[in-house]
Amino acid sequence: MRISTSMLYNNLLAGIRNQQTIQNDGNAKIASGTRFQTPAQSGLDYKVSLDIRHAQVAVQSSIDASKEVESRLNMSQTLLNDMGNILTRAQALAVQQSSAQLSASERQAALQEVNHLADQFLADANQKWQGQSLFAGTAVDQPAFTQDAAGNVTYSGSSQDRIVSISDNQQIVSNIRGDDPAFSAAFSALQGFKTALANNDTAAIQTSLGNLNSAGDGIINLTSDAGARLNAVRISRTSFEDMKLNLDKQLNQHEGVDIPAVVAQMQQSRIALQAAYNQIAQLKTLSLTNFLR
């Protein structure tokens, strides 16, 4: 009788431990929202999850790289737009100042504004993005352009593009370089216009107007180029974001736990657990009665 009771008691204890494991696993699943948390719980499923998460990391890296390129090109386009506006204003002034009826003093007044426009153009061309020179190619630690005492501007950046790897098989040129002829044409046109105004030279002012128009077209082309690259990287980023969304859904479907089913299992487990506790209590009472006999 005692041996049979002992065996039954041990079986009940094993059953209680099993039900407690079910309770603990259920609570862990509900808290984490996943069917498994360790390889021991489901080795193959855990490996699949690791593969999906690895793909998520790679796609997120592509998204982050795309955003970086997008931000740099967006700033480049904004500055090029401003440079284009500067040249447009200079063109308007050249039209006004090309009249032979204007006096030298009137052209000196216009020269002050053109000086300001040229300074602003240089400031835009030397603008930084996240502390790095924007139009200097890979020479990000120095200004893209330098100006001598005579007002002549030269490019001091590098001849290499800033290339960003978006993925293992996709690279994007993320910058507009200042050694593009459009920049030198613009600086030359502004400098020529300043000289013509300073010399009160009507013919030279008319020549400057043509140069400013050509320079403006060059900057517009650069702005369009930046815009085209910007659109391309935005399309690429959207594609990666769609991939990320699909991976998120895939991981959720793979790992996701059926909460109602887990709750139902835990409820059944609690009933079984309570029954086992009751049986152990009855066994203890029976054992004590047998001992007293």
Q: Which of 36-40, 47-51, 54-58, 250-254 has the lowest mean pLDDT?
A: 36-40
Percentage above 90 pLDDT, the chain: 62
- pLDDT for residue 196: 96
Q: Which of 35-49, 220-234, 278-292 has the lowest mean pLDDT?
A: 278-292
3-state secondary structure of 148: coil
Mean pLDDT in residue range 36-50: 70
How many angstroms separate the CA atoms of 128 and 122, rounded? 12
- pLDDT for residue 261: 64
pLDDT one-digit tens code per residue, 99-137 = 989 999 999 999 999 999 999 999 999 999 999 999 999
- pLDDT for residue 290: 54
Mean pLDDT in residue range 258-265: 66
CB contact set of 252 (below 8 Å; sequence gap of 6+): none
**Higher local confidence (pLDDT), 60 or 29:** 60
- pLDDT for residue 41: 58
CB contact set of 235 (below 8 Å; sequence gap of 6+): none
pLDDT one-digit tens code per residue, 175-219 = 999 999 999 999 999 999 999 999 999 999 999 999 999 999 999
How many angstroms separate the CA atoms of 250 and 248, rounded? 5
pLDDT at residue 49 greater than cutoff 80: yes
- pLDDT for residue 38: 61
The residue extents of the domains of the chain are 2-33+257-292, 81-227
CA dist list (Å): 184 to 9, 17, 77, 154, 156? 94, 81, 18, 8, 12
Give the chain's mean pLDDT: 86
Highest mean pLDDT: which range of 25-34, 157-166, 167-176, 209-218: 209-218
**How confident is residue 1, by pLDDT bands cut at 50, 70 and 90?**
very low
Q: 81-227 sits in which CATH class? A: mainly alpha
Mean pLDDT in residue range 48-62: 91
